[in-house]
Amino acid sequence: MNIKRKGQTIIEIVLAMGLTSILLPALLTGLVASRTGQPNARQRTTAVALVTESFEAVRVVRARGWTTFAVNGTYHPVPSSGTWTLVPGTQVIGDFVRSLTIADVRRNSSGEIVTTGGNLDPSTKLITHTVSWSVPMPASVSFSAYLTRYLENDAYIQTTEAEFLTGARIGTTITNTAGGEVALSSGGTGQWCDPNLSITALDLPNQGVANALTAIEGRAFAGTGENASGISFADVFIANTNPPSASITGTFDGFKTNDIFGESNGYGEYAYLATDTNDKEIEIIALSASPYTEAGYFDAAGQADANSVYVTGNVGYMTQNNIFRTFDLSSRSGSRPQLGALTLAGTGTKVIVVGNYAFVSVSGSSGTEMQILDVTNPASLAVVGQANVDGTDGRDVYINLSATRAYLATSASSSQREMFILDISTKTGDRPVLGSYEASGMSPKGITVVPGNKAVLVGTGGQEYQVINITDESAPAECGGLNIDTGVNGVASVIEADGDAYSYIITGDAGTELKIIEGGPGGKYSTSGSYESATFDLGYQLAFNRFFANYIRPDQSDINFQVAVADAGSDGCNDAGFVFVGPDGTSGTFFTSPAAIPFSDDGIGYENPGRCFRYKVFFSTTDQNATPVFYDVSVNYSP
C-alpha cells in the first residue's frame, strides 16, 4: 500500500514538471508581450503616419511632372521650400527607417499588369513605401500603389478644314461640307452641295414635254411625250470642254416617249424608247445610221403603254403597266420575240438590271414600292424580294454598282418621306430601310447617286433639285439645291474618263429643257488614297495614351488608321524617323475604333513616349460613287 502511494507521488511530480515546462514559456511570453505590446502599437501608429506622409509626398512630386518623377530606384521624401522632393537612399527618423522604391510595370496584350513577361508600360509605376523599426522589437509597415500619368492630360484634336490642310494627301481631298473633312477624290472642280446653272442650257426641238432622259459619257438622250408637238428622241453631244457644251447631233420622231435607254458598246450604238404605241411598245433606233432609223421593235401583248426599258447584253427588259417582260436582243433588227413575263404588285415605273437581278419601282400597290426579280433565266422570271417603305408610289430607283444599296424615290406624301435607302445586299425577302429623307413639298420624279456620297432628287413643287448627303445612311440630309419652278422631269449623272462629273436634268422650261450641272469634289474616285497629318510637337517628351477618330464608312468602302510616335532627331521633329503602327505596335494592324496607343521605349523605330507625333488615314472603295469620310481625330496625351 505504501509502495503504491510512493509510486503515485513520483508520477505526480513528473506530470507537474512537464506542465511547468509547457506553461512557463507561455506565461513568460505573455508577460513580455504585456510589457511591450502597448509601446509597439504606438510605434506602428507612428510608422503608418510616416508611410501615409511618404505616399502624399510622392503624389505631390508626380504632379510636378512625370519625366522627373518616374526614375526607378530607392528614395525618401524631404520637405523643400514648401513642397516635397525625392532624395535617393533611405531616411532615419528616430527609431524608424523610411524608404520608397519606384519600379517598372509590365502589361500583357490585354492590358493587364503582369509580374513576368509582357511589355513595359512607361506611363505606370509601382511605388512601394516601407517604414521599419527595431525597438521594442523588430517590425515594419509596407504599402504599395500604382501611379499613372493621369495628371495634366490633354488632347491633340484636328477637325477643321484649315487644320487638315496642313497634312499631306495622296488621292484624297479636303472639303468643308460639315466643317472640314477628308475623303477620296479625283478630278472635278464643282461642288455637289453648291449647284448652279452657269453652264449653257439646250433647247430641245419643238414644244413637247421633255420627260425621259439617260446619258453616257459625251452623250445625253432625251425624249418627249404627253403631247404630239415634240420629237420622240434627241441625241445630244456633250463636248468635253470646260465648261462643257451641248448640241443636238440627230433626232428621231414618230412616238411619244416615256423612257429611254442608250448603249454604245460591242453590240453597236442604239437607243431604246418605251412608247405608247400599241404595236411597238419598245422602239429600237440605230444611231449609226444617218439619219437615225428604226432598227427593230418589241410588240408587247395587250394595249397598255410601256413605262420603262433597260437593256443588258442580248436581253431587253421593260415594264408595261403591271407586267414585267423580257425580250430577245440576240439581234437588234426586226420584231423581237418575248422571252418571259411576270405580273408585278403594281405599275412598274422604272426598271434597272444589275447582274442576275432586276429592280423595279412600283406604284399603285398598297404594300410594295419596289420589287426584286431573279432574271437569271429571262424566260423563267421570279419575284424574290420586295420593299415596303410605307410610302405612296415608287417613282424611280437607283442601284449602286455592287447591287448592295437601292435608292428609291416615291411620290409626295404629307405623312411619309420621299427618298429611302434600302439594304439589298441580300436580294430575298423584305428588304430593310436604312434611312429616309423628307423632300419638303417636292414630288419626286427621278433620283441618281453621284460621287462624294451624294444623291440628287428631282421633281416638281417645293425645291425641284435637291442634293442629299447620304454619307450617314441612317440620316440622309439635304446639303444643297436649286429652285427650278418649271419642274424637273428627269435626271442622269455621268462621270467622264478625266474625272469630271455632271448631272443632266430635263425640265419643263420650254426654251431650255436640258440643263447641265457640274459636280464635285471630283468624278470617279480613286480606289484608294491616304492622308498623313502634319507633325504634332510640344517640344518635350509626351506619353500618347489613346486614339479616337470620327468617320463614316459607306457600304463597299473602308477606312482605317495608324499612328507614329518618334524621338526627336538632331533637327527636332524635322528629321525624326516616323514608323506607323496599329494598336498592337506593329505595321500590320490598324485602328478602327477607339483604342489605347501602344507603348514602346526600346530606342528603335516606333517610340512612345516620344516628342513627335503623326497619324495616317487609309481610304479605299470599290464603288465609284462612294467614299469613306474622315471628320476629326482626338489623341489623348500626358507629359
Query: Across residues 191-196, what is the average pLDDT?
Result: 82
Confidence of residue 37 (pLDDT cuts 50, 70, 90): low
- Write down the residue that cell numbers 428631282 correspond to: 458
Q: What's the pLDDT band for 31 if we cut at 50, 70, 90?
A: very low
Kindly tell me if the per-residue pLDDT of 4 is higher than 60.
no
Q: How many helices (H) and strands (E) does the chain have?
A: 3, 46
Residues 84 and 160 in one domain: no
Q: What is the pLDDT of residue 411?
A: 92
H or E stretch including 161? helix 161-164
Q: What's the whole-number mean pLDDT along residues 507-536?
A: 80
Instruction: Report whether 568 contacts 575 (CB < 8 A).
Output: no
First to last CA, the chain: 96
In a domain? residue 522: no
639 confidence band (pLDDT: 50, 70, 90): confident
Burial of 12 (0-12, 13-18, 19+ CB in 10 A): exposed
**Residues 565 and 613 grouped into a single domain:** yes
Residue with more model confidence, 373 or 555: 373
DSSP string, 484-526: -TT-EEEEEEEE-TTS-EEEEEEES-TT--EEEEE--S-SSPP
The pLDDT value given to residue 522: 44
Q: Identify the pLDDT of residue 369.
A: 96
Half-sphere exposure of 276 (CA within 13 A, CB side): 10
**Residue 591 exposure: Cα atoms within 13 Å on the Cβ side:** 27
Residue 366 lies in a domain: no
Could you tell me which residues come within 8 angstroms of residue 43 by beta carbon, excluding any fewer than 6 positions away?
95, 96, 133, 135, 136, 139
What is the percentage of the chain residues whose pLDDT exceeds 90?
Answer: 58
Task: For residue 494, tell me if it sits in a domain.
Answer: no
Mean pLDDT of 86-103: 95
Q: How many CA atoms lie within 13 A of 4 on its CB side?
A: 1
Q: List the beta bridge partners of residue 79.
A: 84
Write the burial class of residue 628 (CB in 10 Å: 0-12 exposed, 13-18 middle, 19+ buried).
buried
Per the structure, the complete domain to which residue 132 belongs is given by: 38-148
Q: In this structure, are 68 and 162 located in the same domain?
A: no
pLDDT tens track for 580-597: 999 999 999 999 998 889
Tell me the whole-structure pTM to 2 decimals.
0.69
Within a domain: residue 178? yes
Mean pLDDT of 472-493: 92
Q: Give pLDDT tens digits for 534-584.
A: 999 989 888 898 899 999 998 889 999 999 999 999 999 999 999 999 999
pLDDT given for residue 27 in this prediction:
45
Residue 167 and residue 99 share a domain: no
Which among 567, 597, 566, 601 is positioned nearest to 584, based on CA atoms? 597
Looking at residue 428, its pLDDT comes to: 97
C-alpha 630/C-alpha 265 separation (Å) is 38
Domain endpoint, select from 105, 128, 148: 148
**Per-residue pLDDT at 118:** 80
Q: What is the CATH number of the domain that holds 627?
A: 2.60.120
Cβ atoms of 387 and 422 within 8 Å: the answer is yes
Residue 602 lies in a domain: yes
Rounded CA separation 399/408 (Å): 9
Q: How many structural domains are present in the chain?
A: 2
Is pLDDT at 480 greater than 80 in this prediction?
yes
Angstrom CA distances, 11 to 7, 8, 92, 253, 351, stand at 6, 5, 57, 140, 117
Nearest-angstrom CA–CA distance, 127 and 132: 17
**Residue of higher predicted confidence among 112 and 326:** 326
Q: Which of 88, 123, 148 is the last residue of a domain?
A: 148
What cell numbers appear for 203 in the block? 433647247
Q: What is the average per-residue pLDDT within 13-33? A: 49
Q: Residue 12: what pLDDT?
A: 53
Same domain, 85 and 170: no
- Write out the three cell numbers for 583: 494598336
Specify whether the CB–CB gap between 611 and 568 falls below 8 A: yes
- Do 53 and 129 lie in one domain? The reply is yes
| Percent residues over pLDDT 70 in the chain | 89
Average pLDDT, the chain: 87
Do 586 and 532 lie in one domain? The reply is: yes
Q: Is residue 288 part of a domain?
A: no
> Looking at residue 519, what is its pLDDT?
74
Residue 115 and residue 160 share a domain: no
- The more confidently predicted of residues 378 and 229 is 378
Q: How far is it, in rounded angstroms, from Cα 560 to Cα 619?
A: 7
Q: Tell me: do 600 and 578 sit in the same domain.
A: yes
489 pLDDT band, cuts 50/70/90, is very high
| C-alpha cell belonging to residue 534 | 502634319
Give the Cα separation of 139 and 417 in Å (integer): 79
Higher-confidence residue of 255 and 2: namely 255
Question: In this structure, are residues 58 and 51 in contact, taking their beta carbons and an 8 Å threshold?
Answer: no
Q: What is the pLDDT of residue 259?
A: 94
β-strand partners of 211: none
* Residue 453 located in a structural domain: no
Same domain? For 167 and 91 the reply is no
> 103 with 172, same domain?
no
Whether 276 and 292 have beta carbons less than 8 Å apart is answered as no
Q: Do 138 and 109 share a domain, yes or no?
A: yes
Range of weakest confidence among 44-53, 271-280, 499-508, 616-625: 499-508
- Asked if residue 84 lies in contact with residue 61, where contact means CB atoms within 8 angstroms, the answer is yes
Q: For the chain, how big is the Rg over CA atoms in Å? A: 40
CB 298 within 8 A of CB 309: no
- What is the pLDDT confidence band of residue 398, given thresholds at 50, 70 and 90? very high
Task: Taking residues 151-169, report their average pLDDT.
Answer: 88
In a domain, 577, yes or no: yes
Residue 112 confidence (pLDDT): 85
